[in-house]
A and B are shown apart, each in its own frame.
Chain A
Amino acid sequence: MTTAPARPDAPPTGTSGPYVGAPVDRVDGVVKTTGAARFAAEHPYPGLAHAALVHATIPRGRVTWIDSAAALAVDGVLAVITHENAPAMRPVKTQSVLDLSTLVPGSTVNHLASDEVHWDGQPVAVVVAESRQIALHAASLVRATYRELPSTVDFATEKRNALPQKKSVVDPGRAAKGDAEAALSTAAVAVDHLYTTPVHHHNALELHTTTAVWDGDRLTVHEPTQGIDWTRKHLAHRFGVPVENVRVIAPFVGGAFGGKWHVWAGTLLTVLAARVVGRPVRLVLTREGVYRTVGGRSPSEQRVALGADADGTLTALIHTSVTQVGRVGGGPEPATGLSRYAYAAENVLVEQKQIALDLVPNTYMRAPGEAIGSFALESAIDELAHELGVDPIELRMRNEPERDPIDGRRFSHRKLREVYALGAERFGWAGRSLRPRSTRDGRWLVGTGVATAFHPANLFPANVTVRISADGGVLVRCGLHEMGMGAATAQAQIAADALGVPIESVRVEHGDSTLPAAPAASGSTQTASIASSLLAACEKLKRSALALARGSADSPLRGAKPAEVQARDGGLHAARGGETYAAILARAGRSSLDAAVGAERGFAAVAGQVRFMSKFLLDRRRWVRAASGAQFCEVRVDAHTGEVRVTRWVGAFDVGTVINAKTVASQLRGGIVMGIGMALSEATVVDPRTGRIVNPGLAEYHVPVHADVPPIEIHCLGDPDPTMPAGVLGAGEVGITGVAAAIANAVHHATGRRVRDLPVTLDDLL
């Protein structure tokens, strides 16, 4: 692992030990492969009842009549809860940056509080029964009639009515430099096209599942969530109980990808149902239920226009987008975000518009904004390269910015030249013909394509405690989210190196709201955010240990200064020798030493929040921080049928420090696989007449299968970002960005056909 020169305000990188960077096996590997790990639907409770949802079948209107009689007549049914008999929940709070938990409601609808229907699929009843089978059967017997009201559901026809997106702290929605339209009209060479992407769904293997248990006014919820702390606060608010009374437990989440960031109807209604029947209640949504009640990625129409001099120097870059939100929730999809930083164009205009529809609100999905934005931008760059007759990597390098092209901020770690060089070498890019349709292998037209991957790096405040015990064991406690990415493993590695102990002696407790609060797992921020606090806590712990030792006449660390002390071999060492933590604790007669970073509540917590927000804003003014990469692929297109198969992949990335070579590669690879789906097969189809999702299941929503995925080679620079904790830029999302463009570019190279509407399917190529 290489280490970059430290800058004055650089936080400790903590990357000197044996574990950080190594392909350490997951600490949760054994419990998961042996089935011992308990997921949210696997916790037994005496008297557990099961729920099922009944979904509205109109896009907008009112329930005029709902008949529960047939359902109630089924043996084993405990309750049918509808708007006619549901106890009230408190309405959602207005969103505020001072209380980030106000951002988590998936929609503003107060479920079952009225007869109103806001989207096709919205729950209109919950059936509770002795078994899931009975509940599902009874739910199918609930009959509802509706008075339909006018609705707008079709993105394709409504997009022309889109309005500029409202500005927010995180996403201004618009940025401009110079006069891009004017520059475009006078450019020597220009491309100007529309690109579209459909709705996508996350399709985590684990369905959305809630187990809710009331004990008086205390509530325990097992919930696969990406945001334990905010879910807890939100539930406390909706059900009118103190936050302290709510416990949210999620040690393992079976995949999320953004789909488990918000609190959706199913969670709330399970808690409500448990209150109604006075028993623990579990709801495992059907796969169809997930599609109907949990949002997906917004569809988009994007315009990218590029103007350049004859030598390929960009004079104009325009990237505008239209995306959708639900009329009752959802948020902006920052599709143009990456175009602010991508190229050193003289004139830039990026602008996002949106349209509100009567559909389930949209939500985050892996690399919101960049995943689809990179498809449009990186396809357009390829189109321009083709127009100019220039190698597409060469065109990118000619326009590689030194600073933020719009406002001149510095890049903390801009390594696109390096990742392109690395990727091109590993892929064997040199000597590639610029001419489309130049390679044929039997029935296959062969092409190669490339695109830039880019994902911003951010940080959120995290609370962590670390304890070292007399037996030398280390316990890290943090309510972090283990969704399969290896989050706990990464923190165990960091703690082991920071304290100089074997990783086997580190235990990480996670996934429980009784632990110190972690930020939501989103935006690829979890590893860096927690590492920041964990490194600080380990530092505190070492100082306390040293304080115990240095005052003691018998300690080899007597009089040692923190700066001369090294943590290794299970203890602290200075010039005159050292000793283990166990020895230090034993001498001092202590059973353990503790260190904590971050306050859970009270004034200190608020102050921490304010401190964080100001640092967040300051950092944003100073740095552009991002993970990036270069995606290279080879595709084969059947000359007769137009079938597209991806046959080779090389991804070269800058994710800052690689904490764990194995799990980082898996994250990046997983992102690429998801990107292949986005490029070639994934689309949630909404019936334009009714707003009803037509393919709510894995039989008709086609994620890639093994046969669609080629061997994927991953390379990382492994060079720490000097401005990020532990040098980490985040690896969870950057992998999916650029993938669809690389494939569309390769398809163009293979066939001469440019497809600008995802997914690229064979009918586009006949």
Chain B
Amino acid sequence: MRPFGYVSAPDVATAVRVVSTEPNAKFLGGGTNLVDLMREGVERPDTLVDVTGLPLTAIEELPGGGVRIGALVRNARLAADPLIRSRYPVLSRALLSGASAQLRNVATVGGNLVQRTRCPYFYDHASACNKREPGAGCDAIGGVNRNHAVLGASEHCIATHPSDMAVALAALDAVVELESVRGTRRVPLLDLHRLPGETPHVETVLTADELITAVELPHLPVAAASHYRKVRDRASYAFALVSVAAALHVREGVVTDVRLALGGVAAKPWRAHQAERVLLGAEATEEVFLRAADAELAAATGLPDNTFKIELARRTIVATLQELLTDGSAA
């Protein structure tokens, strides 16, 4: 690993100031992604500003019924939080389906949101990768790409975003709070990540010196009946091939409210707006669920290794909605 400087930030103001003034500085959360990438020589910061000592570890109920989650809450704690478990079970389940118990004990909410892709060529300095080295080319296209994107990819990059938590947050209309020397701003989670286009190395709308301080969940009654379904070859400790975060409310056989997001299919957590449009107000039947899935996936395209994901996503959407419907929680 390249030598680097280390600063433990005592407060938010110091953290954002150091990162904005030191050249090539980065925030360090649990380090489960950043340190790995530094070992591989993919991330090469000169200074790490450790933010795990910042007082951003609360999970608080908001006046309107929403919840505010500090950016330094560890994944394991968030998953176990009673408020989260009862009001947003999809989030709890998404977290618990991610990584391993050891990693979840360390990983932070902020770090989880901006963790980087698991594309193997991105990790391998001997390969061509536009994300690592803009303009170098993309070895995944025409190479090994079973885990890659089928939605929103470009000819420059077909990587996926690996986070499970973010998929649940995408379904829940979460808002991310950012802090920098220029002040505070709030960004809807759905706008946080960017599709690759011609600049796959630019992954989020965050500027390099912006710190995620919190994530806010709105009051969302439909989320009480929500589920996260993660599909993978290995039963645990594997990234999603496809995942579905869904919340569903049905009255008298008709969908009255719904949230749907997909993971493992795109460079960002993919909110399934098209599918939601088909579902809302329609009858809650398998046929409608299928129609909704097809509407969302109409634009999907695959490569030889990953085309199966389109059919897999379709089936997983339907199965997850069915499950919410039949276990009675959606009623």
Contact = CB atoms under 8 A, between A and B. Distances in A.
A73 interface: no
B80 to A, nearest CB: 19
A142 to B, nearest CB: 12
A591 interface: no
B236 A706 contact: yes
B318 interface: yes
Given A685-B144, A766-B311, A702 B233 contact: yes
Contacts of B41: 140
**Chain A binding surface, main DSSP class:** loop
A643 B231 contact: yes
B127 interface: yes
Nearest to A646: B235
A282 interface: no
A137 interface: yes
Contacts of A700: 118, 120
B319 A443 contact: yes
B236 to A, nearest CB: 4
B30 to A, nearest CB: 16
Interface residues of A, number: 32
Interface in A313-329: none
Interface in A664-695: 680-681, 685, 687, 689, 692, 694-695
B315 A766 contact: yes
Interface in A704-722: 704-708
A707 B1 contact: no
Interface string B303-318: 0000010011001101
B126 interface: yes
A761 B2 CA distance: 38
B233 A681 contact: yes
Nearest to B144: A694
Contacts of B124: 692, 694
Interface string B101-125: 0000000000000000010110010
A762 interface: yes
Interface string A605-643: 000000000000000000000000000000000001111
Given A57-B126, A685-B144, A695-B120, A762 B231 contact: yes
Contacts of B127: 692
A643 B236 contact: no
B118 A689 contact: no
Nearest to A56: B126
Contacts, number: 76
A766 B319 CA distance: 13
A705 B236 contact: yes
Contact of B144 (A687, A702, A705): A687
Contacts of A136: 1
A640 B311 CA distance: 10
A304 B234 CA distance: 29
Interface residues of B, number: 31
A125 to B, nearest CB: 15
A253 to B, nearest CB: 26
Interface string B213-241: 00000000000000000011111111001
B142 interface: yes
A766 B121 contact: no
B236 A707 contact: yes
A9 interface: no
Nearest to A640: B319
Nearest to A763: B308
A64 B118 CA distance: 33
B65 interface: no
Given A140-B41, A766-B315, A704 B1 contact: no
B232 A692 contact: no
Contact of A763 (B121, B237, B312): B312
Given A692-B126, A694-B144, A705 B308 contact: no
A705 B237 contact: yes
Contacts of A695: 120
Contacts of B3: 137
A501 B233 CA distance: 51
B10 interface: no
B234 A681 contact: yes
B239 to A, nearest CB: 9
B143 interface: yes
A699 B118 contact: yes
Interface in A135-163: 136-137, 140
Nearest to A761: B233
Interface in B67-118: 118
Given A137-B3, A694-B120, A680 B144 contact: no
Contact of B1 (A137, A687, A759): A137
A553 to B, nearest CB: 70
Given A640-B316, A641-B319, A685-B144, A762 B233 contact: yes
Contacts of A642: 312
Contact of A708 (B2, B121, B231, B235): B235
Contacts of B318: 640
Nearest to A121: B126
A423 B124 CA distance: 47
Interface string A94-114: 000000000000000000000
B120 A705 contact: no
A466 B120 CA distance: 53
Contacts of A433: none
A133 interface: yes
B231 A687 contact: no
Contact of B143 (A57, A641, A694, A704): A694
B317 to A, nearest CB: 10
4 A-B pairs closest in CB distance: A707-B235, A763-B308, A707-B236, A640-B319
Interface of A: 57, 133, 136-137, 140, 443, 640-643, 645, 680-681, 685, 687, 689, 692, 694-695, 699-700, 702, 704-708, 759, 761-763, 766
Given A643-B233, A705-B237, 12 more contacts: A140-B2, A641-B315, A642-B312, A681-B234, A685-B144, A694-B120, A704-B234, A706-B236, A707-B235, A708-B235, A762-B233, A762-B312
